[in-house]
Amino acid sequence: MADLRDKTALVTGASRGLGRAIAQRLAADGATVIVHYGSNVAKASETVASISAAGGKAYAVQADLQSADGVDKLFAEISAPLDIVVNNAAVFSSTLFDTTVDEFDRVFAVNVRAPFFIIQKALPLMPDGGRIINISSGVTWFAVPELVYSMTKGALNVLGRSLANTLGDRQITVNTVSPGTTHSDMNAWLRDNPEAQAGISGITALGRVGEPEDIADAVSLVASADARWITGEVIEVNGGFYLGPRTPLHH
């Protein structure tokens, strides 16, 4: 396991799903975790309680990242040092003709604007050698109907590369973790759909759908000192999704 003792980590959207798994893993590695949530205080409390029960340290902070002052509200509760930032919070979008202007603005506000200004606010609190980790998605390289969501994740990929170059002098690494299809609240449709699960497993080299813990383990790696020479990367964490026709190895 990574050694994150004496580190403080902010994980946005950590009340459930991938964010909860990431918060739990970083806490297990020794970090004090700031569990950000948007509105579901009960779920955020569950995340904090699970970390505490496992011997870790965490506390919850509420902020509506859709609002213009949401990031300011979040950072009113955070002080230095802030060693690790994980921009995980995200909302999904409709398809092309179902997307309204309000929805377009909301999705970009949460998925792009908030990470940008969270990083802006975090940097004065972050010691040299800190870690910034953005959670993207495989939809940046394969097509899905939810165009606006895909566009926002592409923006995070660009943000990570450019920011890594800017912050290199401070030895702050910036990496993007890009999950493939993963069991999560955003993919709740998969839970009761064995045909879809089988289809995804069939085009995945490791033969299954991802779990939140698979993503959390990758975040733990890039948050650790062992990843000190990794920056500006988009790391696909998808079990070998869609590499091509699967050809069994015959002896």
Residues 31-85: tens digit of each pLDDT: 999 999 999 999 999 999 999 999 999 999 999 999 999 999 999 999 999 999 9
Residues 146-155: tens digit of each pLDDT: 999 999 999 9
Residues 86-144: tens digit of each pLDDT: 999 999 999 999 999 999 999 999 999 999 999 999 999 999 999 999 999 999 998 89
**Rounded Cα gap, residues 23 and 31, in angstroms:** 9
55: region left, alpha or beta (phi > 0 left; psi from -120 to 50 alpha): left
Residue count (the chain): 251
The DSSP element (H or E) to which 87 belongs, if any, is strand 84-87
**Where do the structural domains in the chain lie, given as residue ranges?**
8-237
Question: Which is catalytic among the residues 37, 59, 149, 242?
Answer: 149
Is residue 251's pLDDT more than 70? no
Tell how strand 32-37 and strand 8-11 pair up: parallel
Widest pairwise Cα distance in the chain: 62
In this prediction the pTM is 0.95
Q: Identify the CATH number of the domain defined by range 8-237.
A: 3.40.50.720
**Whether 149 is catalytic:** yes
